[in-house]
Amino acid sequence: MAIVLGENRYGKAENGLVRVDRDGDEHRITDLDVSVSLSGDMSDTHLTGANDKVLATDTQKNTVFAFARDGIGEIEDFALRLARHFVTSQESIARARVRVASFPWQRLTVDGQPAHHSFARAGGGTRTTTVHHDGERAWVVGGVEDLTVLNTTGSEFWGFPRDEYTTLAETKDRILATAVTASWRFGTEDTEDTEDTDWASAYDTALAAMLDAFGGTHSLSLQQTLYAMGSRVLETVPEIVEVRLSLPNKDHFLADLSPFGLDNPGEVFYAADRPYGLIEGTVLRDDAPPAGPAWS
């Protein structure tokens, strides 16, 4: 029996990067988490410990900060720049994967006017991208995570199978809440086409489409809502060919106020964080090209 080295990669994960753009009096802030992962001709370092083909992870970190000096722009473009650099500058590197999370900040208001240099962390979800480049083609996945949404009504759950272990009561009116993690795959694999994509518009439109679908769907199940959200993204952003969604059900249970002599006409709830139902699914165009390595 032979023992061989399988697929492998290495990199510098979760590089915290903050850039302040100081053009004029009004500053702008970009807050990122950047992870780099490289693969290629790395067998020697695993089998013999030779490091002559290994670009140090500290060098990868330094590259991230050096590239930020010239500006970041859209996170998809920044990830593409980094991925292409690692592949083209190192003979031993055949593939580069860069994931970027962009944390939202909002400008404060001071004395009724927008502040020039004061910000508060916003809660509208974290924008993400994952880029994979192999020297010829680039695959781009966008997305959002930690986007918490809630409908106070317009959600039902009934008609499910009942057996000897079922205690859940059916309901025709419940709170529906979830923390959305969504990723969407762009159909192009051509490097020139990726440069022409309006990443900011695609993100804003996809996010608005998901929120519209969540708020506008009378939900008989969270699965139905998931499909509506993914479908709406595909209907409104032609560059996107596939959407993956992970929706944990954030349960809100009616508080029992009867021991205190009080009624509770659907007004007071307690939120339970675990355990929770986890609904996951993929919505895609029937002619979507096969998924590239940015998904994996």
**Whether 214 contacts 245, CB under 8 Å:** no
End-to-end CA distance of the chain: 29
Cα–Cα distance between 235 and 179 in angstroms, integer?
Answer: 22
| Homologous superfamily, domain 10-136 | Urate Oxidase; (3.10.270.10)
CATH 3.10.270.10 in the chain is located at 10-136, 143-296
pLDDT surpasses 90 at 43:
yes
Cα–Cα distance between 174 and 251 in angstroms, integer?
Answer: 9
Q: What is the mean pLDDT of the chain?
A: 95
Q: What is the pLDDT of residues 121-158, one digit of tens each?
A: 988 899 999 999 999 999 999 999 999 999 999 999 99
Q: Which CATH architecture does the domain made up of 143-296 adopt? A: Roll (3.10)
Q: What is the pLDDT of residue 193?
A: 65
Q: Which residues neighbour 228 within 8 Å (Cβ) at sequence distance 6 or greater?
A: 213, 214, 217
- The pTM of the full predicted model, rounded to 2 decimals, is 0.93
Q: What is the pLDDT of residue 192?
A: 65
Q: What is the pLDDT of residues 223-236, one digit of tens each?
A: 999 999 999 999 99
Q: Which residues neighbour 100 within 8 Å (Cβ) at sequence distance 6 or greater?
A: 32, 33, 34, 35, 75, 78, 79, 128, 129, 130
Q: What is the pLDDT of residues 247-292, one digit of tens each?
A: 999 999 999 999 999 999 999 999 998 999 999 999 999 999 999 8
Q: What is the pLDDT of residues 175-231, one digit of tens each?
A: 999 999 999 999 987 766 677 899 999 999 999 999 999 999 999 999 999 999 999
252-254 vs 126-133, strand pairing mode: unpaired
Residue in 69, 93, 82 with CA at minimum distance from that of residue 130: 82
Q: What is the pLDDT of residues 51-85, one digit of tens each?
A: 999 999 999 999 999 999 999 999 999 999 999 99
